[in-house]
Amino acid sequence: MIFLKIAVLIVFLFSFSFSDEKKVNKKKYKNKKEINFNNDEDTDEYIKMFVNALNKLKIHYVDSVNESESIKSGIKGLMKNLDPYTKLLEGSSKESYDVLRKGKYGGVGIQLGLRRDTLTVLAPLEDSPAYSEGIYSGDQILMIDSTSTLGMTTKDAAEIIKGDLGTIVTLRILRPSTKKMINFDLERSNIRVKHVPYWGIDKDNIGYIRLTKFSKNAAKDFRLALEELNKNKVDGLIIDLRGNSGGLLNNAINILDYLCDRGETLLKSKGKAKRANKEWISRRKPVLDIDIPIAVLINRSSASASEIVSGALQDLDRAVVIGQKSFGKGLVQHMFDLNDTTTLKLTTAKYYLPSGRLIQKEDYLDNGFLTDGLDTKDSLFTTKGGRVVKGGGGIYPDVKTDIQKKSPYINALWREGVFLNFAATYVPVNNITIDNLSISKQILSDFKKFLNEYELEYYLPGEKDFEKIKQKISKSEFSINKFSKNISKQSNFNFFNEIEEYYSQLKLIQYSLPENQKWIKNGLLREMSRVVSGEKERIKVSLLEDYDYNKAVSILKNLKEYYTILEF
């Protein structure tokens, strides 16, 4: 009956507001004029014009002018109508690229997060000052030196904690398991970035490597993982590039070199400058036997170098790609230091996969300038074995999967950091170790009691729409009593209250719903594993309920299915 009432309410809303225009968020493209390349004399004239304008500004503008900022704004203006990856980097944005290029930074080795607006240690990095001095996952950072962290973002905190090598930073920490305040004086050191955080072998003898970024050390670490897995004679390999936004091109090429036959064309790039026109061919004997099947996991956040690796392996029929269509970035950038604090990140080339396809999506220019004719219907690209693959718009997986959607209730638990907060207290108090860690009925019962401390804010399907409808009707010229009378002769009919009660009752049973119970157990296992044994164990247990990973294992175990996919 309640569903009928909701349906009637929705019909009323449509009849009440049928004249309202539907608002659609669309990305608007600016009209692009035909590009005219001026001669040197014209360019010189415009440079003189710029200098003249700057001088007039300096002399005549009513207030004082920050000339350096004006000039930087002018440089940014040069790139306004170019691609979104050509940027002027300074400050924190430059630091992040420096970390990518150098593979290390000066700090104490803490992965930070916000849990209930409190700066929290998600994990100390192995062999870091934080790890050595005994900082744990779940520790809450209340002070950095003499600065309170109240209202501080993780980005702000990271900038304060990082610093010159050999200097000291003091963290005042509240440990949830003991409720004690502890001061840690940590000496900043070189923190080596590890973007291959986990590799291992499962019970089916399938190897797995997670790669989160293509930084300076990524290819070297990937090779170490590959060699270790190879010693155990794995029957298949899964490379996880989900959420990997890319990084250094040479690292992607090196990784492909470890996996492909010698002499294979891996990639081509084309640009204006002579040095931008290159072809990369595999030079070494592969580290992994060429007959061992490979699956690559991608999603919408897999971009750039991730697309080079997954796309090249797909084009060479060396791997089955599983997941969702990737981001679609087919451009190469180079860094040009303008001074000690400012770097120009400039798109210098387009890259082409072994099949000849460019996978750049046409998302900011509407004239086909970057698609290389991929908007033409007869553009056709084939893999080494003759399979048809698409160009433009990213890497299309051979096996498409849907994103694993969790309920609003489970998303709220993760958003509030409840799993880690519970684990940080529960694990030490109950002496849980990796050997006795399992999610028992007692743990589930204790976790349910722990949730009483939280007021989770979330909307069930249809609830937010109901709230909007309720507000719309309450502001209308019709009274709710008149509206209710029109659809029911019962004088005591309270339409809104019945629906609100329906949602209230539905929220009371969210914890015990079978689908939610599965994700609650997985969430507890993941965060308790992190507290007990670190980030590697957390990644390992997260794969237990990972649909894409389990799909890849299934395909790699069934070679007939694997090679059938590569044939069509």
Report d(CA 398, CA 396) in Å as an integer: 7
For 53-78, the three-class secondary structure string (H helix, E strand, C coil) is: HHHHHHHHCCCCCCHHHHHHHHHHHH
Q: What backbone phi and psi angles, to 5 degrees, belong to 564?
A: -65, -40
Q: Which of 315, 317, 372, 398 is catalytic?
A: 315
- Contact (CB, 8 A) for 545 and 553: no
DSSP structural state of residue 247: B
Give the CB-side neighbour count of residue 343, counting CA atoms within 13 A. 18
In sequence order, the 6+-apart residues with CB closer than 8 A to the CB of 212 are 195, 196, 197, 243, 244
For 210, the 3-state DSSP assignment is strand
Q: Token digits for 17? A: 């507001």
Between strands 381-382 and 104-107, the pairing is unpaired
Q: Which of 94, 216, 329, 521 is catalytic?
A: 329
Q: Token digits for 466? A: 């109901």
Verify whether residue 315 is a known catalytic residue: yes
For 182, the 3-state DSSP assignment is strand
In the chain, % helix, strand, coil (3-state, to 5) comes to 40, 20, 40
175: β partners = 180
Q: Which of 189, 282, 302, 304 is catalytic?
A: 304
- Contact (CB, 8 A) for 177 and 428: yes
- Contact (CB, 8 A) for 112 and 121: yes
Q: Is the dihedral of CA 327, 328, 331, 332 positive or negative?
A: positive
Q: Which residues are catalytic?
A: 304, 315, 329
